[in-house]
Amino acid sequence: MHKRGLRDWVLPGALLTSTLIKCCIGLGSYSGKGTPPMYGDYEAQRHWMELTLHLPVREWYWYDLQYWGLDYPPLTGYVSWLCGVVGSWIEPSWFALDKSRGIETEGSKVFLRSTVLILDALIYVSALVVFANIWQAMRSKRTQNLALLTLLFQPALLLIDFGHFQYNSVMLGEENLGLTLHALNLFAMGHDLWGAVFFAFSLCFKQMALYYAPAIGTYLLAKCLYLGRPEGQVINWERLFVRLAIVTVFTFFLLFLPFLPPFAPLSGIGQAIRRIFPFARGLFEDKVSNFWCATNVVIKWKFWISRALLVKLSTLLTLLGSMPCVVILLSTARRMQFARQTAQESADMTAQPPFLALLPYALLTSSLSFFLFSFQVHEKTILLPLLPVTLLLSGAPIDSTAYTWGALVNNVAVFSMWPLLKKDGLGLQYTATLVLWNRLIGYNPFTWPPKSFTHIFSLAVYFAAISIHLLEMTVTPPQRYPDIFTVLNVLVCTPVFVLAWLWSVKSSLKVAWSLGGVSRKPENQKKGAEEERPSAEIRRRVWESGELAEDGETS
């Protein structure tokens, strides 16, 4: 494309093509299509538009909870309300209170699909474009475009958003990721405060953004640490810390305001929180490829341990799992601050710190730990770890481990959602998007002979996945084990996610180590502190050294 003078047309073309693919996926089935009385997630989202449109804000978390009561944070409610307003202007019957339940007219479907498309374009796609420009600033235009394509056509997100239509992980999850991504972009530009605001938005959109909270919180803390308290200057780190705290609290306060007195009775906020964090539900929903569900094959957790203890245990494990990213970020920041102090340099509060390269790995570690160990996980939640994985993959050269792992985790994540997609009637879209994306990133899962451990492991996983698909097509499951294929699916996917978690910790350590190497050279550091461009230079060096270190080990 580039050599034919199409350079300027790659970006609009990519955006338009991805929109086209999204529209085409949207032609297919969705969650709960034509299945009264409860329908599925599509209906849930439509119902929220209906109820937020017709009810005062204080009743949102109380209305007919048995029929898809609202159970996401307020920002979801506000956006649903906006969609409801626009939709009922076009056609009032789509969102008539109670009467519109289960409505599946041609028009209402197109409207709902297009709301996903528009919100996606406004928030997620825009964030991706900015990401490809900022995070890959030192790379060629071609790499930037390829990174964007990798992210735009990520199959798991396409399938869940535009196929399954679970607004709670679709528009919301989607937007949630988008908001988080905006936050990351802002961090990279050095606008920490705005980043924090966006992340707070993200949390108020969907509580699942908590998966990222340890990494983001630690990153901001690490930045405070890194700034330190240089002699003879205004006290830097306290100022940033206090500002961050104020901004975050204020954002939360604003978004929850309608649920607080005097606008609503005090019980309103309690109800909202109970709805948002449903600890009253089970350890996991359906079958999900995490630690609890996989080990449940051997150990029947529910019979051995009480729910209260399980909640505590899962929380403890989750925190332990996300510990590495906290420790690595903080220690790197501390070490670099020492190095800088000894080199007698000052740091600019608005410049990006050199350890920014650690952030995607940290996000991956913490979100994977939440996915693997926390309470009440859905299979769709794998989208959260997939964002940092795909961000890492998007910038990685084709022979790096980040590339191999990124592609593997993405493919396996889609495979882990197969039971759900099959139920939705999205088998065709499942195949099509997987083929398209793998072709796009130039990934051939079946390269022979395998060159590294990751390679052999990938091959084994793909072989297992394909075998399960073939078995499922040809054999009917035995009566005693009707879920046998789903369980097999879980058993194949969980080890991949566990290993991906390990890989993320290992990679963070390597990047941290190479950062340490950079920081000990004052002449480089001087460049880094000067302005935006040289710090990007350092990041590129870090990136490359990380890649080199990894390649050295694997080959």
Partner 1 sequence: MSMKGHSKSIQSRAGPSELQGEKTDAVPTANWRSWFQWDIEHGEWDIFVFATVLKLLLFPSYRSTDFEVHRNWLAITHSLPISKWYYDTTSEWTLDYPPFFAYFEKLLSVPAFLLDSKIVDLHNLKYESWSVIAYQRTTVIVSELVLVLALHRFIRDSVDPSTQRIISASIFLHPGFLIVDHIHFQYNGFLFGILLWSILMARNGNKLASGTLFAVLLNFKHIYMYLAPAYFIYLLRSYCMTPSGQVQVRNFLSLANMVIAVFLASLGPFALMGQLPQLFSRLFPFTRGLNHAYWAPNAWALVTAVDRVLLRYVQYRDLNVSVNTAGVASTSRGLVGDTVFAILPNVQPIHTFTATLASQSICLFKLWKTPTYKSFLTAITLCGYSSFLFGWHVHEKAVLLVLVPLSLLAAERQVYFRTFIIASVAGVYSLFPLLYTPAESFVKVIYSILWVTYVYVPLSKRIYEFPTTPATVALDIAEKLYLAGFPLLLLFVNAYTLWVKRRMINTEESGTDTMEFLPLMATSVYCAIGLVWGYVRLTYIYLHEDTYQGQLSEIG
Bridge partners of 284, per DSSP, are 377
Range 23-62, binding partner 1 (CB under 8 A):
23-29
Told to check if 9 binds partner 1 by CB under 8 A, we report: yes
Told to check if 107 binds partner 1 by CB under 8 A, we report: yes
CA atoms within 13 A on the CB side of 228: 19
Cα–Cα dist 517/313, whole Å: 38
DSSP string, 53-100: HHS-GGGTTTTTTTTT---S-HHHHHHHHHHHHHHHHH-GGGG-TTTT
Told to check if 5 binds partner 1 by CB under 8 A, we report: yes
Q: Which range binds partner 1 by CB under 8 A, 106-114, 137-145, 271-279, 361-369? A: 106-114
Q: How far is the CB of 396 from partner 1 (least distance, A)?
A: 20
Nearer to partner 1 among residue 26 and residue 388 (C-beta): 26
Q: How far is the CB of 484 from partner 1 (least distance, A)?
A: 24
Query: Which conformational region is residue 35 in: left (phi greater than 0), alpha (psi within -120 to 50 degrees), or beta?
Result: beta
- Asked whether the beta carbons of 272 and 258 are under 8 A apart, the reply is no
Nearer to partner 1 among residue 13 and residue 516 (C-beta): 13
Q: Which range binds partner 1 by CB under 8 A, 10-18, 288-296, 352-360, 402-410? A: 10-18
Q: Which range binds partner 1 by CB under 8 A, 11-19, 249-257, 346-354, 512-520? A: 11-19
Q: How far is the CB of 17 from partner 1 (least distance, A)?
A: 6
Told to check if 302 binds partner 1 by CB under 8 A, we report: no
Residues whose CB is less than 8 angstroms from the CB of residue 223 and which lie 6 or more positions away in sequence, other chains included: 192, 240, 333, 353
Q: Which range binds partner 1 by CB under 8 A, 37-45, 253-261, 435-443, 479-487? A: 435-443
Q: How far is the CB of 505 from partner 1 (least distance, A)?
A: 36
DSSP string, 280-340: TS-SBSSS-SSHHHHHTTTS-HHHHS-HHHHHHHHHHHHHHHHHHHHHHHHHHHHHHHHHH
Nearer to partner 1 among residue 128 and residue 159 (C-beta): 159
Q: How far is the CB of 16 from partner 1 (least distance, A)?
A: 5
Among 53, 409, 432, 500, binds partner 1 (CB under 8 A): 432
Q: Which two tokens stand for residue 63?
A: 């209305």
Among 97, 242, 435, 456, binds partner 1 (CB under 8 A): 435
Site residue total, partner 1 (CB under 8 A): 32
Nearer to partner 1 among residue 258 and residue 425 (C-beta): 425
Among 142, 312, 439, 526, binds partner 1 (CB under 8 A): 439
Told to check if 109 binds partner 1 by CB under 8 A, we report: yes
Told to check if 433 binds partner 1 by CB under 8 A, we report: yes
**Helix, strand and coil percent figures for the chain, each rounded to 5:** 75, 0, 25
Rg (CA), the chain: 24
Residues whose CB is less than 8 angstroms from the CB of residue 473 and which lie 6 or more positions away in sequence, other chains included: none
Q: Which burial class, exposed, middle or buried, applies to 226 when counting CB atoms under 10 A from its CB (0-12, 13-18, 19+)?
A: buried
Q: Which residue has the tokens 């890492």?
A: 392
Nearer to partner 1 among residue 106 and residue 231 (C-beta): 106
- CA 483, 418, 204, 103 dihedral sign is negative
Three-state secondary structure call for residue 261: coil
Among 20, 316, 456, 460, binds partner 1 (CB under 8 A): 20
- Asked whether the beta carbons of 85 and 69 are under 8 A apart, the reply is no
Binding-site string for partner 1 from residue 412 to residue 431, where x marks contact by CB under 8 A and - marks none? ----------------xx-x
Told to check if 16 binds partner 1 by CB under 8 A, we report: yes
Q: How far is the CB of 470 from partner 1 (least distance, A)?
A: 18
Which residues of the shown chain bind partner 1 in the complex (CB under 8 A)? 4-6, 9, 12-13, 16-17, 19-21, 23-29, 106-107, 109-110, 113-114, 428-429, 431-433, 435-436, 439
